[in-house]
């Protein structure tokens, strides 16, 4: 029993890739349990900066098995492209395993994601348009059967499943969106073209993971997106269609709850969000702009500028409870250098009430206003700090207050993008 979940405590993009990469150095298996190519991990390894969307960050560690488990949705064309790109950069994908039960994202999912978004007008979710929602919809709809990765290995089964899907999707494309119907061959041709490059990686990952677990393997479950993008516990409907919370690691891998030993909650020292939806501590003015420029807050997958704001301890406290977080990894602390004071949201107020945790009702959340506490800032550069004692007093005070407000000890602090720029306390 030695699995660690790395989970995003905010709205994604917290820097989970860096923490997974650090943990993967000691891991035997690194697993993605939900989401698909909507994720974007930037991992800096020596001179190389790698941007990954599908393949787990653990791929940089040649000894670790790298698994896309049952709960993920896999775009085979993106998978093949990422696989080839990594190999060309000298990163072997020999240890990559993809669940045959993971649902495949096909061209019509991406098309529908875009058409659905456009039809929402001002009510857009701001999806990544990678087909995530439509692919999970097919999975949960059950009939006609969604296409799974196993089906790519059998052309007749693939054709049959896609034909059944098109019988439902073409009337939608024609009569709701005024588009031409899709032909089965145009859907499956690009997929069949990449199958020879990915076929050997498709397997029964549930059995593989169970064997690894019972054999004593050290495992890292790498969450994508973040707690508040969770389909059930996020800011619905401005969420993704899977379960990024730590509990999603069990559903998405087939391993039971007792396999999880530790949960590292990853958060930025401030807050960001891509896409629409409530964001109580958002700073649309100069402070938010400064955070965006310093933190290079532009989406890895879509390049969109991220909305930026102050740290929201109410969210983090709620996320700590939702995920059973055992440690906090605080990322991008260096971005806050040089602010004279740093506000932290310690509670919300709405409708004459004070909230210590994120309220469940969306209308109440939309009405929430942050209650701030001002903490003194620090001016010394921190990029070279490697130990807790190296950090400026006020930076430590900020982290201590954060830990106190959230009720979870600090496990690591990131002070720059490289692996070395990390103060490790208990990872």
Residue numbers annotated as active site: 13, 41
Q: Min. distance of Cβ 277 from ligand IMP in angstroms?
A: 6
62 class by beta-carbon count within 10 Å (0-12 exposed, 13-18 middle, 19+ buried): exposed
Q: Min. distance of Cβ 307 from ligand IMP in angstroms?
A: 10
Q: How many CA atoms lie within 13 A of 327 on its CB side?
A: 18
117-120: Cβ within 8 A, 24+ apart: 119/176, 119/177
Q: Min. distance of Cβ 229 from ligand IMP in angstroms?
A: 5
What's the order of all strands across the beta sheet hosting 29-32?
Answer: 202-203, 96-99, 65-68, 29-32, 219-222, 3-8, 260-268, 327-331, 410-414, 422-424
135 vs 202 by CB, closer to ligand IMP:
135
28 vs 113 by CB, closer to ligand IMP:
113
Termini Cα distance of the chain: 16
Torsions phi, psi for 368 (to 5 deg): -70, 135
Q: Quick check: 319 and 11 in contact, CB under 8 A?
A: no
Can you name the residues that pair with 190 across neighbouring β-strands?
Answer: none
Can you name the residues that pair with 267 across neighbouring β-strands?
Answer: 330
12 vs 71 by CB, closer to ligand IMP:
12
Going by C-alpha positions, the residue among 358, 331, 310, 425 that lies closest to residue 42 is 331
Q: Which residues bind ligand IMP (CB under 6 A)?
A: 11-13, 38-40, 125-128, 130, 132-133, 224-225, 229, 238, 240-241, 274-275
Q: Sign of torsion, CA 91 424 318 320?
A: positive
Q: What is the number of the residue whose Cβ is closest to ligand IMP?
A: 275
218 vs 268 by CB, closer to ligand IMP:
268
Q: Min. distance of Cβ 129 from ligand IMP in angstroms?
A: 7
195 vs 276 by CB, closer to ligand IMP:
276
Q: Min. distance of Cβ 27 from ligand IMP in angstroms?
A: 21
């Amino acid at each position: 029993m030695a699995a660690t979940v790395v989970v995003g405590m905010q709205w994604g993009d917290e820097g989970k890739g860096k923490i997974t990469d650090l943990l993967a150095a000691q891991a035997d298996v690194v697993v993605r349990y939900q989401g698909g190519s909507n994720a974007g991990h930037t991992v800096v390894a020596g001179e190389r900066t790698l941007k990954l969307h599908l393949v787990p960050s653990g791929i940089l560690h040649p000894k670790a098995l790298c698994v896309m488990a049952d709960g993920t949705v896999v775009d085979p064309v993106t998978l093949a492209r990422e696989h080839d790109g990594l190999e060309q950069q000298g990163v072997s994908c020999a240890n990559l395993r993809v669940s045959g039960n993971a649902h495949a994202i096909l061209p019509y999912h991406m098309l529908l994601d875009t058409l659905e978004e456009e039809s929402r007008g001002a009510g857009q979710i701001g999806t990544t348009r990678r087909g995530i929602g439509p692919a999970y919809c097919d999975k949960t709809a059950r009939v006609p059967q969604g296409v799974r990765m196993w089906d790519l290995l059998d052309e007749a089964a693939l054709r049959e499943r896609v034909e059944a899907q098109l019988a439902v999707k073409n009337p939608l494309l024609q009569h709701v969106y005024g588009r031409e119907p899709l032909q089965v061959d145009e859907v499956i041709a690009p997929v069949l073209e990449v199958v020879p490059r990915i076929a050997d990686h498709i397997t029964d990952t549930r059995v593989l993971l169970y064997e690894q677990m019972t054999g004593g393997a050290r495992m890292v479950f790498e969450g994508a997106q973040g707690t508040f993008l969770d389909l059930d516990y996020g800011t619905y409907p401005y969420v993704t269609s899977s379960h990024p919370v730590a509990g999603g690691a069990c559903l998405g891998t087939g391993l039971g709850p007792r396999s999880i030993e530790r949960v590292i909650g990853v958060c930025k020292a401030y807050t960001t969000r891509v896409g629409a939806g409530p964001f109580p501590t958002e700073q649309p003015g100069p402070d938010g702009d400064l955070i965006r420029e310093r933190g290079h807050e532009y989406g890895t997958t879509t390049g969109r500028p991220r909305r930026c704001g102050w740290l929201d301890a109410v969210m983090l406290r709620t996320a700590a409870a939702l995920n059973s977080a055992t440690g906090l990894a605080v990322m991008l602390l260096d971005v806050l250098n040089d602010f004279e004071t740093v506000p932290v949201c310690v509670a919300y107020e709405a409708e004459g009430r004070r909230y210590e945790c994120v309220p469940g009702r969306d209308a109440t959340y939309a009405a929430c206003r942050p209650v701030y506490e001002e903490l003194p800032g620090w001016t010394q550069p921190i990029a070279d700090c490697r130990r807790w004692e190296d950090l400026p007093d006020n930076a430590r005070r900020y982290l201590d207050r954060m830990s106190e407000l959230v009720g979870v000890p600090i496990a690591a602090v990131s002070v720059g993008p490289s692996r070395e720029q990390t103060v490790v306390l208990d990872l």
